[in-house]
Structures are given as structure tokens and as C-alpha cells.
């Protein structure tokens, strides 16, 4: 039996959608094969760009950075939960997946926002867990949850983030449930359990990192 690989990662370039009041990555050609004998591209970027992970220390003081987790924190079993036709992700809906959630490491929420990537509509509020639902998710031994959207919380300016207006971040990251944001191709995933990985760059004291997120489906 072979595995089918599904890339869940947006490509990085200077024109990608970035979170409000943050900066886009910049790329500069430093060397070329014709002129210097080798090619080299310089990238300048924050760590929370494109498809990426939030570490607990991104929001909470005196908590772990990504490099402080073992490598298996970023690999495991996953399910996708469709919620593209919902206004919110409430507890009652999540409880219909309780048996599966108890046996997996990652939940990927398919909101449909992946289709709005690189458009102004991507900034509109997508379905997110209610505070009650986030507290319920925090009772499971999850390694992470992901979205094909900006955030597990409402979209606000990066300059205005507090525990009051971003409660889901605090609830989940306090339990070391990592947040994977700006995923794509979630519509290509099965309704069964599959393998998932989202390996960050091994950066010291990283509060986040771009990832190459992939799903591995048994065929």
C-alpha cells in the first residue's frame, strides 16, 4: 500500500495575504549563476507568515517556543472537520466528532477560506470555535489544530491583541495545543483518519515558523 501526499501549504512570495498590521515577506536576488557562479535568494520575513505554526510563547509569557518541543509534536494522526457552511463552530457540532477526536493528534478545520486566499474576502470573519468549544477541545490530548484561515480567533489588528479579544489562542496554547494557520487544499482530504505533519524550521526561541504541511493518505 502506498501513501498519497497532499500538500496543504500556500506558496510564499511577496504578494501573499498577511495578517492585519503585519509585514509581508521580501525576497531579493543577491547572486545569480550567470554573474556569480551560484544563485542565492535572500528572504526577510516575520515567522508568522503563509502557512505557519503558533507556539505558546507567541501569546503567553514563560511558555515553550517551537524548538523546545520534540520533533514528534509536529507529526501524528488527523481528521478534517468541515465547517464551511457554519457561522460558528459550537460545542454541539464538535461533540459529533468526539470519538474520533479522542484518538487523533490534530484537527484541521475546513472553513472554505482557502478559496479566498490573496483576496480581500480572506479578511472577513470565518467560522471559529466558540469559547465553550475551545475549552472542550483543550480537554483532549491534541498536539495541534489547524485552519484554512488566518486564525482560531476573530481577525483584529495585530496591535490590539489581548486575552479578552483572543480567548481561543490563550485557552489552547496554554494547553500546548499548537495552532496551524493558513492551510490549503483541505477539500482534498478524506473523512477518515489520515497522517499529518507540519514541520517548523528549527529556529532557537521561535514563537512561530512557516511550515510545509502535508497529509499522507493510504491508497
Sign of CA dihedral 144, 150, 155, 159: positive
Question: Among 32-36, 63-67, 151-155, 197-201, whose mean pLDDT is lowest?
Answer: 151-155
Query: Is the predicted pLDDT of residue 163 greater than 70, yes or no?
Result: no
| Closest C-alpha to 8, from 80, 94, 103, 85 | 80
Q: Name the percent of the chain lying above pLDDT 70.
A: 95
pLDDT (average), residues 80-85: 96
What is the model's pLDDT at position 219?
75
Does residue 80 form part of some domain? Answer: yes
What CATH number is attached to the domain comprising 134? 3.50.30.50
What is the model's pLDDT at position 20?
85
Cell numbers 477541545 correspond to 137
Does residue 22 form part of some domain? Answer: no
Query: Is the predicted pLDDT of residue 1 greater than 80, yes or no?
Result: no
Q: Buried b vs exposed e over 171-180: b needs ≥16 C-beta within 10 Å? A: bbbebbbbbb
Does residue 162 form part of some domain? Answer: yes
pLDDT interval class at 161 (50, 70, 90): low
Does residue 96 form part of some domain? Answer: yes
Cβ contacts of 197 within 8 Å, gap of 6 or more: 74, 75, 76, 213, 214, 216
What is the model's pLDDT at position 157?
61
- Helix count and strand count (H, E) for the chain: 5, 10
What is the model's pLDDT at position 206?
97
Record the pTM.
Answer: 0.93
pLDDT interval class at 12 (50, 70, 90): very high
What is the phi/psi pair of residue 79, to 5°? -135, 160
The structural domain count of the chain equals 1
Q: Are 122 and 113 in contact (CB under 8 A)?
A: yes
What is the model's pLDDT at position 154?
79
Does residue 151 form part of some domain? Answer: yes
Query: Is the predicted pLDDT of residue 158 greater than 70, yes or no?
Result: no
Query: Is the predicted pLDDT of residue 184 greater than 90, yes or no?
Result: yes
Note down the domain range covering 152: 3-9+46-218
Half-sphere exposure (Cβ direction) of 125: Cα atoms closer than 13 Å: 11
pLDDT (average), residues 81-85: 95
pLDDT (average), residues 120-142: 95
Does residue 40 form part of some domain? Answer: no
Query: Is the predicted pLDDT of residue 162 greater than 80, yes or no?
Result: no
What is the phi/psi pair of residue 105, to 5°? -110, -30
Query: Is the predicted pLDDT of residue 77 greater than 70, yes or no?
Result: yes
Does residue 209 form part of some domain? Answer: yes
Amino acid at each position: 500500500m502506498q501513501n498519497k501526499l497532499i500538500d496543504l501549504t500556500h506558496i510564499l512570495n511577496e504578494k501573499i495575504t498577511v495578517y492585519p498590521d503585519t509585514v509581508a515577506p521580501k525576497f531579493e536576488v543577491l547572486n545569480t549563476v550567470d554573474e556569480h557562479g551560484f544563485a542565492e535568494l535572500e528572504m526577510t520575513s516575520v515567522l508568522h507568515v503563509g502557512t505557519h505554526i503558533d507556539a505558546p510563547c507567541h501569546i503567553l509569557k514563560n511558555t515553550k517556543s517551537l524548538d523546545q518541543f520534540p520533533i514528534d509534536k509536529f507529526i501524528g494522526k488527523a481528521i478534517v472537520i468541515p465547517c464551511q457552511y457554519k457561522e460558528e463552530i459550537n460545542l454541539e457540532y464538535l461533540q459529533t466528532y468526539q470519538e474520533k477526536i479522542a484518538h487523533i493528534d490534530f484537527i484541521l478545520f475546513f472553513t472554505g477560506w482557502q478559496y479566498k486566499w490573496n483576496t480581500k474576502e480572506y479578511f472577513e470573519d470565518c467560522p471559529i470555535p466558540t469559547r465553550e468549544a475551545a475549552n472542550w477541545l483543550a480537554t483532549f490530548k491534541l498536539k495541534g489544530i489547524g485552519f484554512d484561515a488566518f486564525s482560531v480567533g476573530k481577525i483584529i489588528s495585530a496591535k490590539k491583541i489581548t486575552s479578552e479579544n483572543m480567548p481561543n489562542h490563550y485557552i489552547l496554547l496554554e494547553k500546548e495545543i499548537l495552532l496551524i494557520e493558513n492551510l490549503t487544499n483541505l477539500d482534498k482530504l478524506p473523512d477518515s483518519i489520515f497522517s499529518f505533519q507540519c514541520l517548523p524550521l528549527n529556529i532557537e526561541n521561535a514563537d512561530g515558523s512557516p511550515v510545509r504541511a502535508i497529509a499522507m493518505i493510504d491508497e
